[in-house]
Amino acid sequence: MLISIGLFVVLITIGWFWYKRKFSYWSRHGVKEWPAKSIFGNFGDVIAMKANEADVADECYKQLGDVKFGGYYFLWKPLLMIKDPDLIKTITIKDFEHFSDHPPFLDTTNNTDAVGHSLFFMKSEEWKKRRSVLTHLFTPKRLKSIHTMTGPIMDSFFPKFDQCAKDDLDIDMDPTLTELTMNVITKTFIGIDVKDQSAFLKASHMFSYPDTPSLIKSFLYTVQPEIHKALGLTTLNKGIYALFSELVERVIRLRKEQNIVSNDLFDFLIKCENGDVKNYEDISKTEMIAHTFVFFFAGHDTTTLTGALTLFELSRNPEI
């Protein structure tokens, strides 16, 4: 009995010292901090789904007061918040080469984790080389051609609104605009007309509303990336990966067999695979899937939300 009590006391003591050491990083370095509120740092409410990361950042900004910068804690990791505009300008312009990487949300060394191989997660020089090449997909000439291609899609979209208005029906804008943006993206960047969007809609839902296993894997990588890597886990849902893997293989195969040139994302990927694009001669299938995935979801999610809010405001202010 005494041994059990003694062991319990030792564990509590070790836990207490670990907590104090872990969450005093900034104060030990002479930086003002927003003290951790729990073992999850300042993100306990985010874990409990009572707040989002923007709420935490806003509260941190207020708690730090009148300082140029200060610290807080994302789970067990110390984060630095820069408040001074001149310092922000220095970091993002003059010293950008030292701060060009995003935080390591994903294991970019895992060759089976497609998201980690996208431009968003690439590091320093690799990011710089890849970005300089990918920007050629967004030249004024290319954007003008995209505008031309979207015309027929929009022409078939607006009659739905007219009919709903005539019948005095409500419109759920989220699925409606999701379908629209998917049509635009698959046509302009992937170069295909997808009549049945069910697979893409399902993938979109899985990505925007991840299931519990996906959330657990993401959380595990955040707090213990070594265990995440040792278990061979990936952050991208297997169903989504399979969909885009099949899409990449099928479209590239058809393009090569039928000698199709469309001056779009897949045309670019084929040139990379053939070694015709400088700084992209070593592109892998995983990276191809990553670019397709990011173009697809980065474009559709933000556009859907922005479009829904815009149409809502226009409906409230028809005189505009």
**For the chain, which domains are there?**
2-99 (no CATH), 130-316 (1.10.630.10)
Q: Residue 210 pLDDT more than 90?
A: no
Residue 50: count of CB within 10 angstroms of its CB: 9
Per-residue confidence at 222, pLDDT binned at 50, 70, 90?
low
Looking at residue 276, what DSSP letter applies? -
The pLDDT assigned to 19 comes to 83
The pLDDT assigned to 67 comes to 93
Mean pLDDT within 100-117: 62
The type of residue at 46 is V
Q: Residue 114 pLDDT more than 80?
A: no
Mean pLDDT within 171-185: 82
The pLDDT assigned to 279 comes to 65
Question: Coil, strand or helix: which one is 79?
Answer: strand
Sign (positive/negative) of CA torsion 32, 38, 39, 40?
Answer: negative
Mean pLDDT within 232-258: 78
Q: What angle is formed at CA 115 by the lines to CA 179 and CA 131, rounded to 5 degrees?
A: 95
Identify the bridge partners of residue 72 per DSSP, sorted by sequence position.
Answer: 79
Identify the bridge partners of residue 79 per DSSP, sorted by sequence position.
Answer: 72
Q: Which of 207, 209, 208, 204 is nearest to 183 (CA)?
A: 204
Show the tokens assigned to 308.
């829904």
What's the distance, CA 240 to chain centroid?
14
- Please answer whether residues 225 and 234 qualify as being in contact, where contact means their C-beta atoms are separated by less than 8 angstroms: no
Per-residue confidence at 143, pLDDT binned at 50, 70, 90?
confident
The pLDDT assigned to 296 comes to 78
Least confident of 103-112, 130-139, 272-281, 293-302: 103-112
Question: Coil, strand or helix: which one is 81?
Answer: strand
Average confidence score pLDDT of the chain? 79
Mean pLDDT within 93-105: 75
Least confident of 70-79, 189-198, 261-270, 301-310: 189-198
The pLDDT assigned to 223 comes to 66
Mean pLDDT within 181-188: 80
Q: Residue 4 pLDDT more than 60?
A: yes
Identify the bridge partners of residue 78 per DSSP, sorted by sequence position.
Answer: 73
- Please answer whether residues 195 and 187 qualify as being in contact, where contact means their C-beta atoms are separated by less than 8 angstroms: no
Choice between 314 and 31, residue whose per-residue pLDDT is larger: 31
Choice between 86 and 194, residue whose per-residue pLDDT is larger: 86
* Cβ neighbours of residue 184 closer than 8 Å, sequence gap 6 or more: 150, 153, 299
Least confident of 73-82, 83-92, 235-244: 235-244
pLDDT tens by residue, 18-30: 888 888 999 999 9
41: left (phi over 0), alpha (psi -120 to 50) or beta: left
The pLDDT assigned to 109 comes to 57
Which range in 28-42, 222-236, 240-254, 261-275 is most confidently predicted, on average pLDDT? 28-42
pLDDT tens by residue, 8-67: 888 888 888 888 888 899 999 999 999 988 888 888 888 787 888 889 999 999 999 999
pLDDT over 70 percentage in the chain: 87
Q: Residue 75 pLDDT more than 90?
A: no
Q: Looking at the chain, which runs of residues are DSSP E strands? A: 69-74, 77-82
Residues in the chain: 320
Residue 164: count of CB within 10 angstroms of its CB: 13
Mean pLDDT within 163-176: 81
